[in-house]
Amino acid sequence: MIKKKTSTKKKEIVRFDASMKPIIEKLVDHIGGDGHTIWKDSILKDFPKAIKDRFVHTIESDGSYKGSIWNNGKMVKKLKGVYGLSLLGGICNDLGLEYEGKIGRGFQAQSYTESIRTWLKND
């Protein structure tokens, strides 16, 4: 019997950082504080593959009006892409930015966006 070598080395997480500032700004300008949209994975084309791997997921509808995914006015069971709210929150967390917690996806996305825009101006 041949034993497989197993790696005990953990995979390092690639995070957003200050070196990505110009492309983060372009990304945030494109998203525009939207906490509802599932974006095509091409929205992260300028970022390292490891960043894409963290944020590109298949997201499933739960069947409710608010918990379902809509594409061109029709409910779809699932969609592969980048959830804007998670992406904005990930940027804030990776950069160690402070933001106010809000109720509602749109308000939370706006809070994340405000924090990122402040960082873009000041850092």
Q: What is the pLDDT of residues 67-99, one digit of tens each?
A: 899 888 899 999 999 999 999 999 999 999 999
- pLDDT for 3 equals 60
- pLDDT for 53 equals 93
Closest C-alpha among 46, 117, 114 to residue 82: 46
The pTM score is: 0.85
For the chain, the structural domain boundaries read 36-122
Residues in the chain: 123
- pLDDT for 2 equals 63
Parts of the chain with a pLDDT under 70: 1-11, 123
Q: Quote the mean pLDDT of the chain.
A: 90
59: CB partners within 8 A, 6+ apart: 38, 69, 78, 79, 80, 81, 83
